[in-house]
Structure 1
Amino acid sequence: MEAPLIELLKDKVNADAALVRRGRFLTTTFLIEIGSAQWLVSIVEGQIVSVSHGPFVMPSWSFALRAPQEEWQKFWAARPQPGSNDLMALIKRRVLKAEGDLHVFMANLRYFKECLEKLRPARAAA
């Protein structure tokens, strides 16, 4: 996975007023691991303030989402297959590991699902 895709997350999420409003009570930093690459995503009141590329010496995060690069590519496909279309489906298949303070993740699950789905290519309306 090339670096620019995950770096688009900040602009795509912050441009969605409804999504930012959904996360208005959320302030956290989480780690997303794509294969061996690590990214820290900092959120303040629903807006992504930074997306930083690792490696990190002693990263501070509330929770981490770790999956192989191939699984993230399937998740970020324009039309992901069943089992790759949702964060919980990836967890159920045991290809995505969620670690750390999962209360933050689960309490804001819809926000994180919609946030990470923003990296999928836009589909033409049917």
Structure 2
Amino acid sequence: MTATTKAPSAQEWVEAFTQANDNDPEIGAHGKYFTCSYLLDMEDHLFVIRMNAGKVAEITIDPGPLDVAYQFAIKASSATWREFGADMPKPMFHGIWAATFQRDMRLEGDILVLMQNLRCVTRQIELLRTTGIPCLNA
């Protein structure tokens, strides 16, 4: 039996994601140099996440194309992000590399910065299982 949960609003998600990240022991242990800005394109919403030493410094909701700079982007359909947010993701939705093999997820921009911060970004994607996904289309 599965329970249906309401998707959080974009602002509720920002607050939950910030708290989950900033209190996560794994990111705390690995995030000393996790300082970058990146875009999560969830189709229904865009988020630019600015990290500083493993803590969320700022999350901008739905910025315009020139409003906020970022170094790399992770883009996928809202359906893919919903699968990432499941308690037990289906095969090929458990990580960004698997999802890119399906060709629904794209990694763009300065991939070197992504690779330098891969462990922390991967952990942040895993946190979506607790914070939910702020997508409107179901």
TM-score normalised to structure 2 length: 0.81
User: Amino acid of the residue matched to residue 31 of structure 1?
Assistant: L
Q: Distance in 2 between matches of 1:84 and 1:43?
A: 24
Residue in structure 1 matching 2:125, options 113, 116, 120: 116
User: Does the CA contact (< 8 Å) of 1:7 and 1:51 recur in 2?
Assistant: no
Q: Which amino acid is the alignment partner of residue 20 of structure 2?
A: K
Change beyond 3 A, Cα 1:7–1:95: farther
Residue in structure 1 matched with residue 115 of structure 2 by the alignment: 106
Provide the residue aligned with 1:16 in structure 2: 24
Q: 1:76 aligns with which of 85, 100, 103?
A: 85
Amino acid at match of 2:38: F
Q: Distance in 2 between matches of 1:16 and 1:121?
A: 12
In structure 2, runs of 5+ residues without a counterpart are 1-6, 132-138
TM-score of the aligned structures, taking structure 1 as reference length: 0.88
Rounded to whole Å, the distance in 2 between the matches of 1:112 and 1:57 is: 22
Indicate yes or no: 2:102 matched with 1:85.
no
Once the two structures are overlaid, the 10-residue window that deviates more, 28-37 or 16-25, is: 16-25
Whether the 8 Å contact between 1:8 and 1:119 is mirrored in structure 2 is no
Task: Give, in whole Å, the separation in 2 of the partners of 1:60 and 1:38.
Answer: 13
What's the offset of the Cα at 1:7? 4.0
In structure 2, C-alpha distance between the alignment counterparts of 1:104 and 1:67, rounded to whole Å = 19
Give the direction of change, closer, same or farther, for the CA distance of 1:119–1:6 in structure 2 (3 Å limit): farther
Question: RMSD across aligned C-alpha pairs, in angstroms?
Answer: 1.7
One-letter identity of the residue aligned with 1:38: L
Asked if the contact 2:84–2:128 (Cα under 8 Å) also holds between the matched residues in 1, the reply is: no
**Larger relative contact order (CA 8 Å, sep ≥ 6):** 2
**C-alpha distance in 2 between matches for 1:27 and 1:121:** 23
Aligned residues between the structures: 122
Distance 1:6 1:67 in 2: 18
Q: Structure 1 vs Structure 2: percent identity of aligned residues?
A: 24
4+ aligned runs moved over 4 Å, structure 1: none
Give 1:64 deviation, angstroms. 0.5
